[in-house]
Amino acid sequence: MDASDVIRRMRQVLAVKSDSALAAALALASSAPSNWRQRNRPPLGACVSMARTQGVSLDWLVLGIGEMRGGKVGRIRDASDTTYRVSSDAARRIARFLAAWDAARTPEEMIWLEQHLRRTVPEYDQWFDGLTEEEP
């Protein structure tokens, strides 16, 4: 994944011609795109948000795979979704992280995360015991 390519696609989505215009559209410092390039670390959180709000493919935006607006249209649930019913800021951050992780990671990485949760959080498996078939 090359930060310059991701930035170029972000600019294309927002129809802006410069990095400073991209930063302004994202309400960030004008130096943000330059910093992403120098570190070769595109803003994955901003990409997830942009994919959701602009209706573009996250695979296309981040990896350059597929069509900009092609493919399956989905919705990323986050902490604002009533499904989560979180009451603390920490739980809200965790829910948003999981939504972003799910949207940007491979199935193998999702399996790794779940295995890590099972090893480190005893309540994780116990929670599943109480679920009915209709629940996620």
DSSP helix/strand/coil, 69:
coil
**23 in a domain, yes or no?**
yes
Q: Which residues of the chain have pLDDT under 70?
A: 70-87, 126-136
The predicted structure's pLDDT at residue 79: 45
Domain count, the chain: 1
Contact (Cβ atoms closer than 8 angstroms) between residue 23 and residue 33? yes
Q: Residue 8 carries which side chain, given as an amino acid letter?
A: R
Contact (Cβ atoms closer than 8 angstroms) between residue 69 and residue 31? no
pTM over 0.75: no
Residue labelled with tokens 């602009």 = 54
Structural domain of 58: 3-63
**19 in a domain, yes or no?**
yes
The predicted structure's pLDDT at residue 67: 84
The CATH number that applies at residue 18 is 1.10.260
**48 in a domain, yes or no?**
yes
**21 in a domain, yes or no?**
yes
**130 in a domain, yes or no?**
no
